[in-house]
Amino acid sequence: MIDVKHLSKSFKTESGSVEILHDISTEIKDGEKIAIIGPSGSGKSTFLRCLNLLERPTKGEIWFGGLNITGEGVNIDWVRSQMGMVFQHFNLFPHLSIMENITLAPIMIRGLSREEAEDKALHLLKRVGLYDKAGAYPAQLSGGQQQRIAIVRALAMDPKMMLFDEPTSALDPEMVGEVLDVMREVAADGMTMAVVTHEMNFAKEVADRVFFIADGVIAESGTPEDIFYYPKNKRLQDFLSKVL
């Protein structure tokens, strides 16, 4: 599904250039669930945002479904339509109803009729327990409900892959479970997923592989058992001692 080759990403600052990611090469297979963990500021979110070109890599290539999406002339809108993304903050359009938030992109980008888009939206809303909120506006919903809507909005585009950037970090603790339950369902349906998360139990339960990113590199990767019970990297050992 994804083949990352020698990915680096730098940002310009007043004092020069700061490299956030350094020479990362890895693969994500079709249907695989990847949890991405690591300390704050290590480059986790930047790595995720590079995958759908919200951040353009400074060096390296990203291949998606056999296409070099970092090459010249690639339709970035098409790439992003194939990778649904859910952010820390819900990014719903406050002036649109929940139904309008969900159906806008399928109608404008996918070319679905309004009836088709609304049928799909209602099906997805029922699936996440928010069927009765179709006519509501984001401000009328709790944070957990808004994040479930954000997931539905991404799924309505029929993506080949879902990217989650710390989707529960902005939620009150009692709302985290309802969002993780929806993500578990998405994973169980076979969706390819990459999830930046601080929810270690979720990573243990759902992930096929875990990437530990520190200092701009994937310092260690492996199965949840390898990472959480038999960590080899000293930086990973220190990190786990603080979060588990």
Q: pLDDT tens digits, residue range 138-159?
A: 999 999 999 999 999 999 999 9
Model confidence at 236, pLDDT cuts 50, 70, 90, reads very high
Reported as a single tens digit per residue, the pLDDT across 184-209 is 999 999 999 999 999 999 999 999 99
- pLDDT for residue 36: 97
- In the predicted structure, residue 226 carries a pLDDT above the cut 90: yes
Q: Which has more confidence, 81 or 237?
A: 237
CA distance 45 to 22: 14
Residue-level pLDDT at 54: 92
Question: Mean pLDDT across the stretch 19-42?
Answer: 95
Q: What is the predicted pLDDT for the residue at 79?
A: 87
Name the DSSP class of 205: H
pTM score over 0.85: yes
* 46: exposed, middle or buried (Cβ count in 10 Å: 0-12, 13-18, 19+): buried
**What mean pLDDT do residues 47-59 have?**
94
> Which among 22, 21, 4 has a CA at the least distance from the CA of 62?
4
The tens digit of pLDDT for each residue in 82-135 reads 999 999 888 899 999 999 999 999 999 889 999 999 999 999 999 999 999 999
In the Cβ-directed half-sphere of 42, how many Cα atoms lie within 13 Å? 20
Residues above pLDDT 90, as percent of the chain: 84
Stated as kind and residue range, the H or E segment containing 27 is strand 16-28
pLDDT of residue 78: 87
Q: What mean pLDDT do residues 156-176 have?
A: 91
- pLDDT of 152 reads 95
